[in-house]
Structure 1
Amino acid sequence: MQTTINEAIQTHYHQTHHDLSEVILAALEKSGKDLSCLTLEDLAPIDEFHIRGRVAMLELARAAGLDATKYVLDVGSGVGGTSRCLAKEFGCRVTGIDLTDDYCKVAKILTAKTDLLNLVDFQQADATQLPFDDQTFDVVWTEHAAMNISDKAQLYKEMYRVLKSGGTLAIYDVLAGSSESVIFPVPWARTADTSFLVQPAELHQLLVNTGFTITDWTDTTEVAREWFVRLAEKIKNQGLPPLGFHILLGNDFQLMAQNQRRNLEEGRIVLAQVIAKK
C-alpha cells in the first residue's frame, strides 16, 4: 500500500515525460540566463517551491538560528532550492533528501551550476526511514513535505533520532483547517489519496509525544492568503512564465494555485512555522 502511495506521489511531482533537468535548463535559457553560471535569483521561479517563497524560508532560518557551524538535513528537498539558499545565505552544510529520484538528480545538476557542491549534497530517501546515524544533524528542516506523509509518528520519530541532543527541528507546513475538506487539485496532491494533513493541535501533540520541546509556534495563514492573492493575479494577467512550478506539476498548476487560494481563504488549510528542540 505504502509503495503504491509513494509511486503516486512521485508521479504527481514529475509531470514531464522528458528529462526534467533538460526541461529546466531549456526554460532557463529561454529566460535569458547564463547556464554556465547560474545564481539563486535565476532559479527562484522553480526553487522556492513553498508558499511565500524565500521570505518564509528566511524567517524560518532565522528562527532556527542557522549559521555556518550548523549541519542541516533538508527533508523533502525537491529540486534543491532551499538547501542551496541555506548554504549560500548562512554558510551551513546541508544534506537534502527527497522521495522523488528525478528531483535529486536535478538538484545535483543545479547545485553544480551554482557552485555550491562543496556545501550541499542530495540523496533519494524515504523520510520515514532516514539513511543516517543517530545524532548526525544540528538542524532538521522541512517545508511543505509532511502533507504527503501518512505515518507522521514515524516521520517525527526519525527526525528526532537523527538530531543531535539539543538540536533544532524547523517546520514550515500546510496543516488542516477547522472548516471543510480541502478542494483538489492542490500543489501537493491531485486527490485526497496522497494528502495527509493534520490540524495544528494534532501536530503539537505528535511533536510532544516524540519528545520534542516546542519553543516557537507562529501562524502565518493570513500573510499566506495575501501572497496567494498577488500570485493568482500575476498568473491571470501575465500567464505562466517560461520557468515555474508548472514545469514540475503540469499544465493544471494554474488550477492548483486557484484552489490553494480558495482553501486558504475558506479556512480549509492553515500555515504554521514551528521550532522545536530535542
Structure 2
Amino acid sequence: MKEQVSDHYGRSHRLIDQIVDSLRDAGVEPTKLRAADFEPIDEFHYRGRQATLQLLEKLELAPDANVLDIGSGLGGVTRTIAEEASAKVTGIDLTQEFCDAAKIISDWVNLSAQTTFIQGDATKLPFSDNSFDGAVTVHVAMNVPDKLSVYKEARRVLKPGARFGIYDILQGEGGDVVYPTPWAMDASISYLATPKEMASLLQDAGFSILDEEDSTTESHEWLKARISKPKSDRTMPVTTQILFGNVASDMVQNQLLALDERRLLTYRFICVA
C-alpha cells in the first residue's frame, strides 16, 4: 500500500525540472521568488497558506522551536512555519521525489538552514522520544489505514505539553466520495475517518483535544473562488496540474461535489501531548 501511495504522488519524475522549466518558460526565475509565491504548488491543501497560518497560530510556538511536519510533501507547510514562527522544521514524507524537490525549493527561498526534509514512514518515525516542541500534519491521513500508529508516533516524539495540529480531509455524512481525487485515483488507497473516529484515535494515542473546527463550507467557497479566478501576469505558472496532468480537472469537479454535498469534510484538531 505504501508503494501505491508513493507512486500516486511520485508519478511526475524529475518534478523539480518540470517546475523550473514551467517557471522559466513564463519568464520567472525560481531564485527570485519568495516562499509564499509557491503556494499554488507546495501548499496543495484546502485554503492553502491561509489554513496553514491559522493552524500555526493555534500551536503557540516559542521562537526557535523544533517542529515536525508529518507528510510534508513539497514542503510548503514546513517553509511557512519556519518563516513565520522563526522555527526549525523537519518535514518527513513517504515520497522521495517530493523530499528532493522540497529541499531545492527551500534553497531557492533561503530557508534551507531552517528546514530539513527526509523520506520516511509516518507510522515509524525515525526520531527519539520527546524530540519536538510541536508537530503538524496536513492532508495526510486520507492515505493511511493505520492512523492510530501515526498519532502514537507523533505523541512519542513530542515533548510533554507540546501541541499537535491536524488539518485533514474526513468522511462526511453525505455519502461516498467520487474518484479520482488528489489523494487517490480510486478507493484502493483512500482511508477517510469520520470526525468522531478521529477524536477517538487522537485520544487513544494519548492526546487531549483542545479545539476542533469544521471548515468544510470555507473550503468549498475557497475552491470555487480558486478555479474561477481569472489568470493574470501575476498568476503562478506552476500548479498541481503538474502533478496530475489532465485528470486534475476531474479531481477538482469531484471535490466541489463532495464538499457541497458533505461527502468529505475538512477538519482541524488541536491537541496537547
1:44 positional shift? 1.9
Listed as ranges, the gaps of 5+ residues in structure 1 are: none
Q: Which residue of 1 aligns with 2:258?
A: 263
Q: Does 1:207 align with 2:202?
A: yes
Counterpart of 2:191 in 1: which secondary structure? coil
Structure 1 counterpart of 2:223, from 219, 228, 234: 228
RMSD: 1.6
Structure 2 counterpart of 1:252, from 247, 252, 267: 247
Counterpart of 1:73 in 2: which secondary structure? strand
Q: Does 1:71 align with 2:71?
A: no
1:34 positional shift? 2.1
Segment drifting more, 31-40 vs 80-89: 31-40
Cα deviation per residue 1:97-126 (whole Å; 9 max; x = unaligned)? 000001000011111111111110000001
Counterpart of 2:31 in 1: which secondary structure? coil
For residue 170 of structure 2, what is the amino acid of its counterpart? L
Contact 2:6 2:95 in 1 (8 A): yes
Q: Does 1:115 align with 2:110?
A: yes
1:32 positional shift? 2.6
Q: Does 1:15 align with 2:11?
A: yes
Q: Does 1:24 align with 2:22?
A: no
1:230 positional shift? 1.2
Segment drifting more, 6-15 vs 141-150: 6-15
1:132 positional shift? 0.3
Q: Which residue of 2 aligns with 1:132?
A: 127
Cα deviation per residue 1:67-101 (whole Å; 9 max; x = unaligned)? 42321100010011111111111101100000000
Give the % identical residues: 41
1:33 positional shift? 2.1
TM-score by length of 1: 0.93
Counterpart of 2:49 in 1: which secondary structure? helix
Q: Pick closer, same or farther for the CA change 1:38–1:233 going to 2, 3 Å.
A: closer
Contact 1:246 1:253 in 2 (8 A): yes
Q: Does 1:42 align with 2:37?
A: yes
Q: Which residue of 1 aligns with 2:46?
A: 51
1:241 positional shift? 6.6
1:250 positional shift? 2.2
- State the 4+ residue runs in structure 1 displaced beyond 3 angstroms: 237-242
1:45 positional shift? 1.8
TM-score by length of 2: 0.95
Segment drifting more, 261-270 vs 239-248: 239-248
Contact 2:38 2:236 in 1 (8 A): no
Listed as ranges, the gaps of 5+ residues in structure 2 are: none
Cα deviation per residue 1:148-176 (whole Å; 9 max; x = unaligned)? 10001111111111111111110100000
Q: Does 1:171 align with 2:166?
A: yes
1:41 positional shift? 3.2
The separation in 2 between residues aligned to 1:84 and 1:33, in whole angstroms, is 20
The separation in 2 between residues aligned to 1:15 and 1:250, in whole angstroms, is 10
Q: Does 1:81 align with 2:76?
A: yes
1:261 positional shift? 0.9
The separation in 1 between residues aligned to 2:236 and 2:113, in whole angstroms, is 31
